[in-house]
Amino acid sequence: MTHKVIEKAKVMGQEQLSPTVRLLEVEATAIAASARPGHFANVRVSYHAAPLLRRPFGVAGVDKERGTFSMIYRIIGEGTKMLAAAKKGDVLDIVGPLGNGFDLDCARPLIVGGGLGLAPLLYLSQVLKRADVLMGGRSADELFWRHLFAEKAEKIFLTTDDGSLGTQGTVLALLPRLLAEGGYDRVFVCGPVPMMKAAAAACIKAGVPCQVSLEKYMACGLGACLSCACTIKGKRAKVCQDGPVFWAEEVEEW
Amino acid sequence: MVAPLYDGRLAVDIAGIKMQTPVTTGSGTFGFGLEFTDFLDLEKVGAVTVKGTSLLPSCGNKGQRAVETPAGMLNAIGLENPGSDYFLNVTLPKLRKYDVPVIVNIYGHSPEEYGQVAAKLDVEGVAAVEINISCPNVKEGGIIFGTCPEAAAAVIKEVKKNTSKPVITKLSPNVTDITVMAKAAEEAGSDALSLINTLLGTKIDIEKQRPVLGNVTGGLSGPAVRPVAVRLVYQVAQVTKLPIIGMGGIMCAEDALEFFLAGASAVAVGTANFVEPDIAEKIAHGLLNYLDRHQMQNIEEAVGLALPHGKHSMPLYNC
């Protein structure tokens, strides 16, 4: 298991990816050195009693040479609002790397994602190099992700609910055909639960091994509080410690 | 012989449980301790109080189980745990490698079941049992035993009958008069008291127009509850001779000191472990600084100083 650390991380910068989504890059050499795709980090957003708990974010990219890693988050509540105010040079207290990470032992992977679920998949794409990516969103403006994946991925397939970009529909509009014709030996999925459930079912039907990265409300991220416990392959597991990545057919509680 | 930690200045003896520091961990907030070994030295924690353990494994509650609230959080885990056999066969052998007292928080659905768990855990490597009669998140057991003095006494007597270990009773704040429960626990033979467990609360999602937690209610913890916890320790300390382990929203040494001054002989950090996984060790250092500043040799000198008959305090009601 990866050694976890509490690290004082220097903010290198924040980039606005959409009106509410930010990419945050921090210098944190220990976490950057050991973070694998699928890992996440738990960021302290204030030193006051409120907001109290750390905010967990998937590792979205690592630059091991510079000792930096990035996270992508949506500004939703007080915690992420405060995080968005962090300036270059500010210091953030981060616990990581946390979780188990994806199993990379495959030859021809397909990455499938939507929304913020694409953040950990971006780092996965960076490490896999030239994987195909299928991403879905409600409309074209939600798929700004395609620019982030452009230099890392081989082919990028797009779907939008309203048909404003790519194929109209959800990722399920393309997935069964890609699985049948693409020769993939592994699918990695992260996104909203309905997307993950449907994509996992399609992979199981097509006989392609599939890993999903689950998201559940967690208070500690360390396996202590059991907020994120779920049932995997008939056994109790913790999303933060035993996951967040699980084999799709083993997930019994999404 | 190894020199005592911090020259013994933080050493306390709670009903026979010898601790190197008075800073323990709240049950349910520190897993089984092993989850935190990357961040701190378990042997520099006063005692590791592990997750509530029942006779058989338990899955806990459905739906969302935790949510942040102002200066705190609500949890409704529902005492999920892998059961007493798993604890004895898998977890305890790992914990035995550390020279630190292990306190096992136990719960059951009847006094007899509490007794059975206590009997199973009456083994080497377990320093004490803490009776959870105050969990607000399980439908049977838990809170019933925590709000009715006769029911609490029945559980405590049954546990005492079945173990040679010191017995700590964890009190609920969700009662009209906590001193009634404290006295009942003392009379029933409890060796120490720990307080407080969480306060009952509910959070509503105004967009979905339903409670956030699957269990509807959850237990409130974190800094938000600290003044309530300090008040309850202050009240209980005046009616019992039993040592008290005080807890409720402790985030730093200064917070912990309020509990010592209110009459606690040891403290537990809970929610703070989620935010700062090395906090239990850090608080011990903060306590040493305080002792230096106030020219005290031992933390025991601080216990109860703020009580009505304490060194510095005014009477509670002087009219």
pLDDT tens-digit series, residues A61-118: 999 999 999 999 999 999 999 999 999 999 999 999 999 999 999 999 999 999 999 9
- My answer on whether A151 and A220 are in the same domain is yes
- My answer on whether A69 and A10 are in the same domain is yes
**Position A161, amino acid:** D
pLDDT of residue B1: 53
* Most A CBs within 10 Å, among B25, B38, B281, to test the A interface: B38
In a domain, A104, yes or no: no
CB contact set of B227 (below 8 Å; sequence gap of 6+):
none
Which ranges in A45-174 belong to alpha helices (H)? 78-84, 118-128, 145-150
DSSP sequence for B284-308? HHHHHHHHHHTT-SSGGGGTTTTST
Q: Is B222:B269 a contact under the CB 8 Å cutoff? A: no
Q: Is A31:A96 a contact under the CB 8 Å cutoff? A: yes
Residue bearing tokens 């290198």: A12
Task: CATH number of the domain at A18, please.
Answer: 2.40.30.10
In a domain, B314, yes or no: no
Q: Is B54:B88 a contact under the CB 8 Å cutoff? A: no
A46 touches chain B (CB under 8 A): no
- My answer on whether A40 and A143 are in the same domain is no
**CA dihedral (B27, B28, B29, B31) positive or negative:** positive
In a domain, B311, yes or no: no
Closest CA to B128 of B87, B93, B166, B75: B166
In a domain, B15, yes or no: yes
Provide the domain limits for residue B226.
5-302
Q: How far apart are CA B192 and CA B244, in angstroms?
A: 6
Provide the domain limits for residue A124.
109-250
CB contacts < 8 Å between A and B, how many?
90
In a domain, B178, yes or no: yes
User: What beta strand segments (E) does A79-140 contain?
Assistant: 91-98, 109-114, 132-137
- My answer on whether A240 and A126 are in the same domain is yes
CB contact set of B292 (below 8 Å; sequence gap of 6+):
none
What SS3 string covers B114-153? HHHHHHHCCCCCCCEEEEECCCCCCCCCCHHHHHCHHHHH
pLDDT of residue A130: 86
Contacts of B223 in chain A (CB under 8 A): 49, 52
Q: How far apart are CA A45 and CA A47, in angstroms?
A: 7
Q: How far apart are CA B64 and CA A227, in angstroms?
A: 7
Do the Cβ atoms of B274 and A225 come within 8 Å?
yes
Instruction: Point out the residue among B72, B75, B222 whose CB comes nearest to the CB of A227.
Output: B75
| DSSP 8-state symbol, A249 | G
- What is the end-to-end Cα distance of chain B in Å, rounded? 55
Task: CATH number of the domain at B224, please.
Answer: 3.20.20.70
In a domain, B308, yes or no: no
DSSP reduced 3-state for B52: strand
In a domain, B313, yes or no: no
**How many alpha carbons lie under 13 Å from residue B313 in its C-beta half-sphere?**
18
Q: What is the total count of domains within chain B?
A: 1
The stretch A200-210 carries a mean pLDDT of 97
pLDDT band at A160 (very low <50, low <70, confident <90, very high): very high
Q: How far apart are CA B233 and CA B44, in angstroms?
A: 25
Q: What is the total count of domains within chain A?
A: 2
- My answer on whether A165 and A40 are in the same domain is no
pLDDT band at A214 (very low <50, low <70, confident <90, very high): very high
**Which one of A98, A122, A152 terminates a domain?**
A98
Q: How far apart are CA B47 and CA B128, in angstroms?
A: 10
Do the Cβ atoms of B35 and A226 come within 8 Å?
no
- My answer on whether A243 and A121 are in the same domain is yes
- My answer on whether A131 and A159 are in the same domain is yes
Residue bearing tokens 């020219």: B295
CA B141 from chain centre, in angstroms, equals 18
Q: Is A151:A172 a contact under the CB 8 Å cutoff? A: no
CB contact set of A119 (below 8 Å; sequence gap of 6+):
A57, A58, A60, A71, A72, A73
In a domain, A103, yes or no: no
Output the tens digit of pLDDT for each of chain B's 319 residues: 567 899 999 999 999 999 999 999 999 999 999 999 999 999 999 999 999 999 999 999 999 999 999 999 999 999 999 999 999 999 999 999 999 999 999 999 999 999 999 999 999 999 999 999 976 666 555 567 889 999 999 999 999 999 999 999 999 999 999 999 999 999 999 999 999 999 999 999 999 999 999 999 999 999 999 999 999 999 999 999 999 999 999 999 999 999 999 999 999 999 999 999 999 999 999 999 999 999 999 999 999 999 997 766 555 554 4
- My answer on whether A203 and A236 are in the same domain is yes
A81 touches chain B (CB under 8 A): no
Task: CATH number of the domain at A136, please.
Answer: 3.40.50.80
Active site residue B252: no
Q: Report the mean per-residue pLDDT for chain A.
A: 96
